[in-house]
Amino acid sequence: MIPKRRFFLAFVLSLLLGLLAGGAALNEVQHTRTIIATYPTAEATVSDVTWDEVGSSKNKRWTCFVTYDYQVGKRSYQGRTDAFTEFDEPAAGDLIEIYYNPRVPKDSHVNKFMELWFGPLVSCVFWGLCPLLLSGYFLSRTLSRRS
């Protein structure tokens, strides 16, 4: 039989992990909010659309990569994203809206949910739920041992 102290320690550690991971996830959300609030927008022209196989040999999938060109001032830049799917795949020559870092214009982000919010959302859900479920498991094990 595992001592109650060990369960309590595991419960507290899983809650602390949740707080730490939740902080990291919220940092991602804040970074995205900063991009939207402070980065200027520009129109970019899609220059190339390719479908590449990505993943390991056992878990391959096709991903749409879009290369786009944009100008900031008199300088030209190029970006690449995988935020598009077969349902909204742009064609070469299409215009898309991007956010770019005014200090480092080559740092750009396509104005799409998949590029801006998907990562932080998954991070918040995963890192929020895992420690919560883990601490709930340890709490239920501790309470079931008492009865």
Nearest of 94, 90, 111, 89 to residue 40 by alpha carbon: 111
Rounded CA-CA distance 91/50 in Å is 10
For range 66-85, the mean pLDDT: 91
Quote the mean pLDDT of the chain.
Answer: 82
pLDDT at 9: 76
For range 57-80, the mean pLDDT: 90
Segments forming the whole domain that contains residue 128: 4-146
Rounded CA-CA distance 83/29 in Å is 17
Token pair listed for 56: 């390991």
Asked whether residue 3 carries a pLDDT value surpassing 70, the answer given is no
The 10 Å CB-count burial string (b at 16+, else e) for 78-89 is ebebebbeeeee
pLDDT at 132: 72
For range 94-100, the mean pLDDT: 94
Number of domains present in the structure of the chain:
1
